[in-house]
Amino acid sequence: MYPVTSLKALLLNMKRRTFLQNSLLTGAGLAMSPLVNAFPTQDTILGYGNKRYKIDTKWSKADAMKNPVKDCHEMVQDKKGRIFLLTNETKNNVIIYDKSGNLLDSWGSEYPGAHGLTLFDENGEEVLFICDNNRHQVVKTTLSGRVLMTLDYPKETGMYAKQEEYIPTETAIAPNGDIYVADGYGKDFIIQYNSKGEYIRHFGGRGSGAAFVKNAHGVCIDARDASHPVLIVTSREENAFKRYEMDGTYIDTIALPGAWVCRPVIKGDYLYAAVLQSQSRLWQQSGFVTILDKNNKVVSNIAGSEPTYKSNQLQEMYQTIKVFDYPHDVCVDDDENLYVAQWNSGKVYPYKLRPIA
């Protein structure tokens, strides 16, 4: 999730900034967000409305001695139905499963800061984009790991004096091949390139005002309205997603109070996102998963509070049952099953959640 060299500094900085407010809020937050201490069984129903699930914590059949993981960062499914997991364990950066959790293959030893994983169908050929925090690069590969392109730090922007200032966390690829890179642990810019890797523009960045972002952890293209595709960018410290035109013009903010959201994942009419942690219980393994409908209204939280709106304002969300520690990504397969990868959670493999009627 974070490069090793900056993790402690980042956490310390965040804790310093939030200590005073959270010392006042934590007691209230704990009172309003009761936890179910017992871990749910396979029969426990999680979620609300038409987005309810049962969990399988033993989905992965991988042998931890042969195919270990550190942080399980992100997951995607290819058109053959295979599930690709990205981990920063350099014994096998990419682990490939079938939907039953059986290990099919693994590869990669050169991505110590493996963080972002995006799949793109390029004229019928699927490719991967890997963001590496430690290497300060985005690498485009085949599904078997052969490198096709490497994007270094964006000195063309004029915003970076050295590569260490650039810590990419996610990419989104437009239908025309344009590449949008979220510098989520660096300066929070979104950098746009064409399909050849040539710089076009940058926008966002850390600052004050609606068009700026704080911790641009994720980015995706939302084409649910086919006539008006837009970009959705994570502003995690603000507990929000922000929407932009494809040229970077700010549109609006989707407020998600209480939720430190990771990248947005679009499947059908819904947006899914792992929530790293609850604002009321920072750095206390308080994550959950949130689901938004096509109007960007929260309709379900998995292991989190029931979504409540008052005067059209979403009320603060929080973890209510101890299922996850720090969930980092959600993959939705072709059968609407969910797979949840976790950061800093005891080297656990991903969990699978099966929808129920």
C-alpha of 258 from chain center: 16
Judge whether residue 111 has pLDDT over 80: yes
Taking the CA atoms of the chain, what radius of gyration do you get in angstroms? 19
Domain residue limits at 220: 4-355
Dist CA 57 CA 353 (whole Å): 9
pLDDT tens-place string over residues 30-43 = 334 455 445 677 78
Q: Give the pLDDT score at 357.
A: 76
Over residues 289-324, the pLDDT tens digits come to 999 999 999 999 999 999 999 999 999 999 999 999
The whole model's pTM is what? 0.91
Q: What is the dihedral of CA 354, 267, 61, 44, to 10 degrees?
A: -20
Q: Which residue has the tokens 């364990």?
A: 89
Burial 141-176 (b: 16+ CB within 10 A, else e): bebebeeeeebebbeebebbeeeeebbbbbbbbbee
User: What pLDDT digit, counting tens, does each position of 140-149 carry?
Assistant: 999 999 999 9
CA 192 to CA 201: how far, in whole Å? 5
Residues 350/339, Cβ–Cβ less than 8 Å? yes
The number of residues making up the chain comes to 357
Give residue 252's pLDDT. 98
Q: Report d(CA 238, CA 12) in Å as an integer.
A: 18
Tell me which residue of 228, 218, 225, 333 sits closest to 269, measured CA to CA.
225
Q: Across residues 266-283, what is the average pLDDT? A: 98
Q: Distance between CA atoms of 162 and 165, rounded to whole angstroms?
A: 6
Please count the structural domains in the chain.
Answer: 1
CATH number at residue 139: 2.120.10.30
Tell me: the pLDDT tens digits for 164-194? 999 999 999 999 999 999 999 999 999 999 9
For 99, left (φ over 0), alpha (ψ -120 to 50), or beta? alpha
